[in-house]
Amino acid sequence: HLSTSDEVREAAAAEARAGRGGRNQVLMSLVQNGMQEKALRKLFYDETGITDPEAKKKAFYRARDWATGQGLIEVAEGVVIDLRRQK
């Protein structure tokens, strides 16, 4: 069981190194500071290759909610702010 956010980040990094980064890592690999959320969403859809419209929408918002919850990004007025470099 992972109890701290540092443990969760370390586990996610280990999974990514093993080639199992998942959709959260896909999202984070696409984030560029100052980009429009709409552009990030389109890139995410293209990268994941999910064809079902509802499934790809849910996948994006789950990954976005995870990233904002972890304090990695913030979305303000449709603009993505990358907070990773500010820590």
pLDDT at 55: 94
pLDDT at 45: 96
Residues 11-62: tens digit of each pLDDT: 767 766 665 668 998 999 999 999 999 999 999 999 998 999 999 999 999 9
Q: Which two tokens stand for residue 66?
A: 């995870």
pLDDT at 63: 94
Cα-based distances in Å from 14 to 21, 32, 39: 8, 22, 28
> What's this model's pTM, rounded to 2 decimal places?
0.76
Confidence label for 71 from pLDDT (cuts 50, 70 and 90): very high
Alpha-carbon 11 to chain mean position:
15
